C-alpha cells in the first residue's frame, strides 16, 4: 500500500472510531439526559404507545389504558372511581404531564425502568405485546370509601395509617376531581383542566398531604407528651395548678376555654384532655417552653420537609422563637403551629404503637404479583415517646371517647382513643373554624388503625363546627372499615 492510500485509510479509521465513540456516548452516557429532555416529544408519545401498567388498590386496578389509536397517541389513561382515588394516583395527561404516583412511578408504569429490562426482553423474544409494570398500593378500598363518602361535598381530608407498619390505608381529599377529564390531548381536555385550576375550591389540591392547618386542640397530645417526657408530670391523674382564669404571659389577655361550663380549674391532665381545657394546656405549654415543645413535636415529624410516601408531604410546622404568650397558644395548636392531616395521623399512630413512629408509606410493591421488582421494607422513623408515656396518652385519649368530647367515635367491642379539635384561623380568627378528630382503634385480635380527619365546612354555622360533631363520625366510619366492624 502506498503512502497516500495508507494515510487516507488511517484517517477513515479514525473517523469510524470517533463515530463509534460518539454513538456509544450518546446512547449510553447521555441516553437518560436526552430521554428526559423536556423538548423531547418522542418520550411523551412513547408513554402512550402501549398500555401503561396499573395502580393497584385492594388487589384490583384503579387505572386502565383505553385504546384510541390516534395519530400520535395509541392509548389514553383512564381511572376507575377517579375522584375517590385521585389523591392517591394523581393524573397522567397527554398535555399536562403527570402528578403523584403517576409521575413518581412513571418508569415502572411506562415500562422504561431498568429493572424491567429482563421482563421486557423476554416479552420481546416471545412476541408478547409491550406493557408497563404495575404499582401496588397499601390503600384499603373500604377505608378509602368510608372517608370519601363521609366527607362528601365538604372541603377536608382524611388519612388512615396502620400504626404497626406505617402503611397508609386511606388518603382522602375533598373536593376532588376526575383525572380522566383531561387525560387526552383535545381542546375539551384543555378546557377541563383550566376549569379545575380556576376553581376557587381547589379540587386538585391534595389536602391530605399538601395543605397545612392549625391543628387546634389535637396538638394538646404533643403538649401532654412533652409534660410526661420532661418529667413535669408523672401521671395522667395528676392535678394541674391551673387558675379559673389564666392570663397569657406578659399580657392582660385571658385564655378562653371553649365552653364557660368547663371545670378546668386545677383539672387533672386526663379530665383536661377529655373536655379540652385551653387554660390547662396553654399554661402548661408556657411553663414547658417553646424549645421543649418543638423538640417533642419534631420527634413526631414536625419541621421535617422530607416526609416522602413516596409523594412528598408539605412540612408541618412548630415555630421557634415565640414569645411566652405565643408559646401558650402554640401549645394548644393555634398561633403559628400548623400540621397536615398526614402529620396528625402520624401522631395518633405513634401513640397507638407504644411510642414507635413507623415511616408512612403508600407503595408496597412495584411490579406485577409474582414478578415484583421491589418490595417495601418497613422501618421506624423515630421513637417519638417512651412506651410508658405512650400508654399514659392512650389512657387519656380513651377517656376522651368514653366520657369527653369524642363520644361520637365509640365503636362497640373496640378500644378507641381520640382527640377533638376546633381550630381557629384567619385574621383575628374571623374565618370559620376547622373541625379535627385524631384517633386510633384497636380490636381484641391486635389489629389497629390510626386516623386523622379535618373538615373545612364553610356551609355550617360557626357554632355547629366542632371536631366531635363533624370529624369524629367520619373517623369512626373509617376505623370501622379498617377493623371490619
Positions annotated as catalytic residues are 217
Query: Residue 348 in contact with residue 478, Cβ under 8 Å?
Result: no
Q: Sort 423 into a burial class: Cβ within 10 Å, 0-12 / 13-18 / 19+.
A: buried
DSSP state at residue 251: S
Closest C-alpha to 131, from 139, 119, 118, 147 = 119
Cβ neighbours of residue 293 under 8 Å, at least 6 residues apart?
Answer: 222, 223, 226, 285, 318, 327, 330, 331
Q: Tell me how far the alpha carbon of residue 158 is from its chain's centroid.
A: 9
Long-range contacts of 183-190 (CB under 8 A, 24+ apart): 183/76, 183/77, 183/78, 183/91, 183/92, 183/93, 183/94, 184/68, 184/73, 184/76, 184/93, 184/94, 184/95, 185/70, 185/72, 185/73, 185/94, 185/95, 189/93, 189/94, 189/95, 190/95
* CA–CA separation, 281 and 287 (whole Å): 10
Question: Which residue shows C-alpha cell 409534660?
Answer: 227
User: Which of these, 315, 323, 321, 348, lies nearest to 219 by C-alpha position?
Assistant: 348
Distance (Å, whole) CA 19 – CA 242: 82
Amino acid at each position: 500500500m502506498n503512502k497516500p492510500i495508507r494515510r487516507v485509510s488511517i484517517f477513515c479509521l479514525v473517523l469510524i472510531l470517533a463515530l463509534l465513540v460518539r454513538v456509544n456516548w450518546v446512547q449510553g452516557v447521555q441516553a437518560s439526559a436526552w430521554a428526559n429532555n423536556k423538548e423531547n416529544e418522542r418520550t411523551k408519545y412513547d408513554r402512550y404507545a402501549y398500555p401503561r401498567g396499573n395502580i393497584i388498590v385492594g388487589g384490583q386496578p384503579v387505572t386502565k389504558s383505553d385504546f384510541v389509536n390516534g395519530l400520535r397517541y395509541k392509548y389514553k389513561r383512564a381511572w376507575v372511581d377517579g375522584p375517590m382515588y385521585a389523591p392517591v394516583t394523581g393524573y397522567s395527561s397527554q398535555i399536562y404531564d403527570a402528578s403523584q404516583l403517576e409521575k413518581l412511578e412513571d418508569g415502572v408504569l411506562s415500562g422504561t425502568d431498568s429493572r424491567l429490562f429482563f421482563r421486557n426482553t423476554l416479552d420481546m423474544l416471545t412476541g408478547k405485546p409491550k406493557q408497563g409494570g404495575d404499582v401496588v398500593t397499601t390503600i384499603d378500598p373500604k377505608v378509602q370509601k368510608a372517608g370519601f363518602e363521609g366527607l362528601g361535598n365538604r372541603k377536608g381530608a382524611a388519612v388512615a395509617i396502620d400504626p404497626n407498619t406505617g402503611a397508609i390505608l386511606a388518603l382522602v381529599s375533598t373536593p376532588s376531581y376526575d383525572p380522566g377529564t383531561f387525560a387526552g390531548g383535545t381542546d375539551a381536555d384543555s378546557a377541563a383542566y383550566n376549569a379545575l385550576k380556576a376553581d376557587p375550591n381547589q379540587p386538585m389540591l391534595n389536602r391530605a398531604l399538601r395543605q397545612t392547618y392549625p391543628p387546634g386542640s389535637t396538638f394538646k397530645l404533643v403538649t401532654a407528651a412533652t409534660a410526661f417526657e420532661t418529667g413535669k408530670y408523672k401521671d395522667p391523674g395528676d392535678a394541674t395548678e391551673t387558675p379559673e382564669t389564666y392570663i397569657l404571659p406578659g399580657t392582660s389577655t385571658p385564655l378562653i376555654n371553649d365552653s364557660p361550663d368547663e371545670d378546668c380549674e386545677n383539672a387533672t391532665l386526663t379530665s383536661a384532655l377529655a373536655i379540652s381545657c385551653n387554660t390547662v394546656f396553654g399554661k402548661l405549654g408556657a411553663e414547658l417552653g417553646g424549645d421543649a415543645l418543638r423538640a417533642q413535636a419534631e420527634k413526631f415529624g414536625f419541621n421535617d420537609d422530607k416526609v416522602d410516601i413516596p409523594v412528598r408531604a408539605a412540612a408541618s410546622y412548630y415555630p421557634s422563637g415565640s414569645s411566652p404568650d405565643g408559646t401558650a397558644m402554640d401549645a394548644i395548636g393555634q398561633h403559628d403551629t400548623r400540621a397536615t392531616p398526614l402529620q396528625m395521623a402520624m401522631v395518633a399512630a405513634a401513640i397507638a404503637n407504644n411510642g414507635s413512629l413507623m415511616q408512612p408509606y403508600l407503595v408496597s410493591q412495584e411490579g406485577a404479583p409474582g414478578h415484583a421488582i421491589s418490595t417495601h421494607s418497613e422501618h421506624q422513623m423515630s421513637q417519638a415517646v417512651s412506651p410508658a408515656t405512650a400508654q399514659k396518652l392512650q389512657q387519656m385519649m380513651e377517656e376522651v371517647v368514653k366520657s369527653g368530647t369524642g363520644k361520637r367515635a365509640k365503636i362497640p367491642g373496640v378500644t378507641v382513643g381520640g382527640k377533638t379539635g376546633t381550630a381557629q384561623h384567619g385574621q383575628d380568627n374571623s374565618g370559620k373554624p376547622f373541625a379535627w378528630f385524631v384517633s386510633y382503634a384497636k380490636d381484641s385480635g391486635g389489629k389497629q388503625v390510626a386516623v386523622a380527619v379535618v373538615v373545612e365546612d364553610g356551609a355550617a354555622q360557626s357554632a355547629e363546627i366542632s371536631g366531635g360533631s363533624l370529624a369524629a363520625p367520619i373517623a369512626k366510619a373509617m376505623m370501622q372499615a379498617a377493623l371490619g366492624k
